[in-house]
Amino acid sequence: MLFVEPFEELTDPILANRKVFWMQQCVGGDFSGVLEATNTVFNSATHHELGTQADNLTINGQVIDEFDFFQAEQNDNTSHGEFNFHMYSSTMGESPTGINNYDGDLYTNADLNGDNVISVYEASHWHGIKESAPETQKFVDLGGIGAHTSLKYPTLLWKNAYSNETYRGIIGISKSFTVEPGVELTFLNKSKIEVLNGAELTVKSGATLTIGNNVDIINGKIIIEDGATVNIDTDLYLDKTEILFHNSAVNISGAHLDNQSKFWIHGTGTFEFVNSYFSDGSQIRGVGNKGTTIVDYCIFNDSYIDINNNTLTLNSSVSITNNTFNNSNI
């Protein structure tokens, strides 16, 4: 048996951007006082009363399969609780026995904002409206992060940025959103970003996007509008991702583009790509170039550079030197 203070002593030293606690046990709410923080979501089956096992009943008293035994040892059966049943099922999209609905209500309906990801808030909300057991759930979210946190993606981005925001770690972009003028969005070093549902990130004119060192972006499309600022550190990795630069001042070094990723360049900006690696159909693609393009000391494996000559002007310049092309072309 583990009491509040020993549990606090074990979890407080853990360094984490965000923490989520789900507690099924009896009197679980007693733990909230020492675990609450602005970077923490606390969710328990009870306040101070006893927790209950799944009762095989809907909130309207209809009989339903919630209750399955797990045999840890021969003749030693255990079952899950009411809280865990609803939290698990809504998060996973199916019950422990593989059923995709609860009394006809699809578990995917727990997705309140329609981004195809169940946040910890959405799972808690589902449990709150479906629970039939005599216990009172406790949900504490001091930092208001529950709707932007899931078990797979500790940070979920799906709302427009109207003030400066900084993120790190594993990030999911689940719906298209914009960085508004005067606002800076920063992804810190070693962040891993996965873009879901075909979402797009648009950096509006007057806004800033800063990407730190060794950041990975998967399945993304990022649009840097005319008048926006972009700062990209070294070792950027793009997998099936496109970045569109409009009239930007871009200096990218040490990037790796894979799986048909693209840098699109357009307008009168200065676009410089140095010491970078392009593979598996990735490319630098220029459309409407009226500025300066420099590609130096890059390696292209089954990849290429395509700059439309018809759009170049007398003020345009293109310098492609000291590069290596393997099964690739310009």
Q: What residue segments make up the domains of the chain, in order of their start?
A: 4-140, 152-326
**Contact assessment for residue 40 and residue 20, using Cβ atoms and an 8 Å cutoff:** yes
pLDDT of residue 31: 93
pLDDT of residue 312: 60
**Contact assessment for residue 222 and residue 200, using Cβ atoms and an 8 Å cutoff:** yes
* d(C-alpha 289, C-alpha 320), whole Å: 15
Q: Which residues pair with 289 in a beta bridge?
A: 267
* d(C-alpha 283, C-alpha 68), whole Å: 53
pLDDT of residue 79: 74
pLDDT of residue 187: 97
Residue partners of 51: CB distance under 8 A and separation at least 6: 24, 25, 26, 28, 45, 81, 82, 83, 135
pLDDT of residue 58: 86
* Structure-block tokens of residue 273: 């790509």
- Segment 206-211 long-range contacts (CB within 8 Å, at least 24 positions apart): 206/181, 206/182, 207/161, 207/178, 207/179, 207/180, 207/181, 207/182, 207/183, 208/179, 208/183, 208/184, 209/179, 209/184, 209/185, 210/184, 210/185, 210/186, 211/186, 211/187, 211/236
Query: pLDDT in tens for each of the 330 residues of the chain?
Result: 788 889 999 999 998 889 999 999 999 999 999 999 999 999 999 998 888 888 888 888 888 887 766 666 666 666 788 999 999 999 999 998 889 999 999 999 999 999 999 999 999 999 999 988 888 899 999 999 999 999 999 999 999 999 999 999 999 999 999 999 999 999 999 999 999 999 999 999 999 999 999 999 999 999 999 999 999 999 999 999 999 999 888 999 999 999 999 999 988 889 999 999 999 999 999 887 778 899 999 999 999 999 876 556 667 788 999 999 998 766
Residue 60: CB atoms within 10 A of its CB come to: 8
pTM of the predicted model as reported, rounded to 2 decimal places: 0.85
* d(C-alpha 60, C-alpha 231), whole Å: 56
Between strands 242-246 and 317-321, the pairing is unpaired
Burial of 92 (0-12, 13-18, 19+ CB in 10 A): middle
* Structure-block tokens of residue 117: 């990801």
pLDDT of residue 122: 97
* The length of the chain, given as a count of residues: 330
Tokens 């504490």, located at residue: 140
pLDDT of residue 251: 93
Query: What SS3 class is residue 105?
Result: strand
Residue type for position 203: V
Residue partners of 50: CB distance under 8 A and separation at least 6: 26, 27, 135
* d(C-alpha 70, C-alpha 281), whole Å: 49
Please give the backbone phi and psi of residue 28, each rounded to the nearest 5 degrees, phi first: -60, -30
Tally the C-alpha atoms within 13 A of residue 330's C-alpha that lie toward its C-beta: 11
